[in-house]
Amino acid sequence: MSSPLIPRLHGFGTTIFAEMSALALRTGAINLGQGFPDSDGPSAIKEAARAAIADGLNQYPPGRGLPVLRAAIADHQARHYGLDLDPDQQVLPTVGATEGIASSILALVEPGDEVVTFEPYYDSYTAMFALAGVAHRTCVLRAPEFAVDPDELRAAFSSRTKLVLLNTPHNPTGKVFSRDELQLIADLAQEHDAFVVTDEVYEHLTFDGSTHIPIATLPGMADRTLTIGSAGKTFSLTGWKVGWVTGPADLVQAALTVKQYLTFSGGGPFQAAVAEGLRLGQPLLDELHEAMDHRRHLMVEGLRQIGFDTWLPQGTYFAIGDARPLGWDDATDLCWQLPDLCGVVAIPVSGFHDDPSANASLLRFAFCKDEDKIREGLRRLQSLG
């Protein structure tokens, strides 16, 4: 029998992350695929969630989010980036960044519009474009630099472009967009009078002095940009699904209109706990950052020794390995065989592309895992060399 799923969503069957985590479970392989940390976030934040539940914060939070969380997010954006936001109108907690992305896209584009984004891209973007019924055009980021090709980016814009979807620091490449690249995106968005939705869930995971610059801080951009963050990534609490959208009041209101019919609201006690986490501030972020940085080096040095071409990522918790020096041109093929070959799961970067032949030999390895697990994964991968 043919699938009852609407044709626009054909091809979106199961996410590559779920597929690869299921493969790891089925085969008992070490999961260096899906990006969730092995070690849970700070105990002070978990304690705050327990206290919120014990204190009876267990009914619907307001659709606009708990005031204490909105205030903490506004304060965070001011402290880190000098962005001045009214917590009552310019901040919207969401059910993970995923709902923030969905609400923003569904609120701002409709059939006939076009969206510009970068490839490889996080999978929920294109699923949402499909739900919204909009076409997307892309600028491809290619290994090893993953730099923006200005001509390719310009060519992706048209008179129909209504929205640019940006992700920096970038999953899966680990790239942090430079100020010049962001300025070009900003110029093109302004020239075409397009909105920008910017997914900045890895904002606190940048390394080696590379700086995360929110595009909303560039001249003229604050009024046309919705910025998305996630406590899941910031505090290693991915299962809590607390994210947020910030921006000008009219765009936030538009996202809220959609959000209230997706979930209305969610995660009451977790919202309160995340507010506490944001209040605890820098020492907490530094601690998490240091642990990730150590694992980043461990992973990349290990991959290099095995024989992958690899580069230290500037951001996120993902490292890329190019399998060509090991004799593999097709990373998808390799990823499906990897559990049998050596008991490891990784994600093929082609899963983040329209055209699976782009970046075809690249694998993504998550280093947000316990050090022992990374070491054992690397030990097993040595048999590829």
Nearer to ligand GLN, 114 or 203 (CB): 203
Q: Which of 162, 205, 241, 226 is nearest to 315 (CA)?
A: 205
Give the CA angle between residues 383, 384, 385 to the nearest 5°: 90
- The residues facing 321 across adjacent strands are 310, 363
Nearer to ligand PMP, 233 or 295 (CB): 233
Give me the least distance between CB of 97 and ligand PMP, in Å please: 4
Nearer to ligand GLN, 35 or 339 (CB): 35
Give me the least distance between CB of 231 and ligand PMP, in Å please: 7
Q: What single letter denotes the amino acid at residue 72?
A: A
Give me the least distance between CB of 300 and ligand GLN, in Å please: 18
Nearer to ligand PMP, 199 or 276 (CB): 199
Give me the least distance between CB of 29 and ligand GLN, in Å please: 16
Residue nearest to ligand PMP according to CB distances in the complex: 96
Residues contacting residue 78 through CB under 8 Å, at least 6 positions apart? 84, 85
DSSP string for 269-328: HHHHHHHHHHHH-HHHHHHHHHHHHHHHHHHHHHHHHHT-EE---SBSSEEEEE-GGGT-
Give me the least distance between CB of 76 and ligand GLN, in Å please: 21
**From ligand PMP, ligand GLN, none, interface partner of 137 (C-beta below 5 to 8 A by class):** none
Question: Which pair of tokens denotes residue 210?
Answer: 């590379």
Q: What are phi and psi of 100, to 5 degrees?
A: -65, -40
Give me the least distance between CB of 101 and ligand GLN, in Å please: 11
**From ligand PMP, ligand GLN, none, interface partner of 17 (C-beta below 5 to 8 A by class):** ligand GLN
**From ligand GLN, ligand PMP, none, interface partner of 230 (C-beta below 5 to 8 A by class):** ligand PMP
Residue nearest to ligand GLN according to CB distances in the complex: 35
Give me the least distance between CB of 345 and ligand GLN, in Å please: 11
User: Residues interacting with ligand PMP, by CB under 6 A?
Assistant: 35, 96-98, 122, 167, 171, 199, 201, 230, 232-233, 238, 241, 243
Mark 350-364 as b/e (b = at least 16 C-beta within 10 Å): bbbbeeeebbbbbbb
**From ligand PMP, ligand GLN, none, interface partner of 328 (C-beta below 5 to 8 A by class):** none
Nearer to ligand GLN, 17 or 81 (CB): 17
**From ligand GLN, ligand PMP, none, interface partner of 176 (C-beta below 5 to 8 A by class):** none
Half-sphere exposure of 37 (CA within 13 A, CB side): 23
From CA 224, how far away is CA 185, in angstroms rounded? Answer: 12
From CA 104, how far away is CA 131, in angstroms rounded? Answer: 12
User: Residues interacting with ligand GLN, by CB under 6 A?
Assistant: 15, 17, 34-35, 171
Nearer to ligand GLN, 52 or 97 (CB): 97
153, burial (CB in 10 Å: exposed 0-12, middle 13-18, buried 19+): buried
Q: How far is CA 100 from CA 228, 244, 263, 314, 342, in A?
A: 7, 6, 11, 25, 38
**From ligand PMP, ligand GLN, none, interface partner of 177 (C-beta below 5 to 8 A by class):** none
Nearer to ligand GLN, 171 or 361 (CB): 171
**From ligand GLN, ligand PMP, none, interface partner of 97 (C-beta below 5 to 8 A by class):** ligand PMP
Its sign, for the CA torsion 106, 107, 113, 117, is negative
Nearer to ligand PMP, 100 or 248 (CB): 100
